[in-house]
Amino acid sequence: MQKSRRSLLKSALALTFAPCAGALAQASALIRKKIPSSGEMIPVIGLGTARRYEEVRSAADLVPLQETVHRFQTLGGTVIDTSPSYGTAEPALGTIVAALKSRDALFLSTKVSISGHDAGVAQIEQSFRNLHTNKIDLISVHNLRDTQIHLRTLRELKAAGRIRYVGITTSFDSQYQAFEDTMRREQLDFIQVDYALDNRNSSQRILPLAAERGMAVMINLPFGRGSLFSAVQGKPLPPWAGEFDCKSWAQFFLKYIAAHPAVTCVVPGMARADYADDNLGAAQGRLPDAALRRRMESYIDGL
């Protein structure tokens, strides 16, 4: 996906650690949506740390990632999603956030992804250490692993003020029925699920159920595991993309998701600062209305 994405970008923007007037203006213009359980507003585009942050072996490996997180934050991004199951991603993110002294400006989301009560508690405590923080904004049970056991632990942490929100995640159709059952049975602040222009299965029941139950929705795999960039490789944006202020294919894919009424935040992977510029452009200007979203579906389905 990285090579395809790179070739689709028109040009790389200059990287800098100093906020400029244009960046500050963009930050103030980011579209935000509400977390139903609290009313807190967060930007509709966040940053995911799967894959590119998973194999950090040296200080040199951290440099482009730190540039990316800094650029993301400078542009107004706040939500960063990680997991202890993503290799080195969680400790790498913690190192970056500590170096940038940006913890208070960020919404940090991680997961518990291990079986058993004691193992789960130990993993969660390690997440606090990895992220160099005494409070984590959101911890979710990853892929429904020992859901009931870990939700009890997470609710205790929330009551103690150590975490702010509780959720569950999946990215597998085979888990959708159990996921729905959990959503109906439990009161959750967040769910996280896969959804993309070429992978719309979660929109059939899960997204409407989240809206019905008052749960915020975080979206993973918004680029269809890279398949969307492959599908549009070498193709120009359709001229009607300008009707919702879309300037790149990444924005096309992200704006489609962000415009869904039930979606709160999308977390595409970002490991380059110019990707942060491009992706956060999807949180600016207009989003497609229902008619345009149907047209986007038809376009992608026809490729």
pLDDT tens for each residue of 151-207: 999 999 999 999 999 999 999 999 999 999 999 999 999 999 999 999 999 999 999
| The CATH number fitting domain 43-301, selected from 3.20.20.100, 3.90.340.10, 3.10.20.30, 3.30.2090.10 | 3.20.20.100
pLDDT 10s digits, 76-95: 999 999 999 999 999 999 99
Name the residue ranges covered by the structural domains of the chain: 43-301
pLDDT confidence of residue 225:
87
pTM: 0.92
pLDDT of 263 higher than 90? yes
- State percent of the chain over pLDDT 70: 91
Average pLDDT over residues 227-250: 97
pLDDT 10s digits, 200-235: 999 999 999 999 999 999 999 999 988 999 999 999
Q: Identify residue 97 by its one-letter amino acid code.
A: V
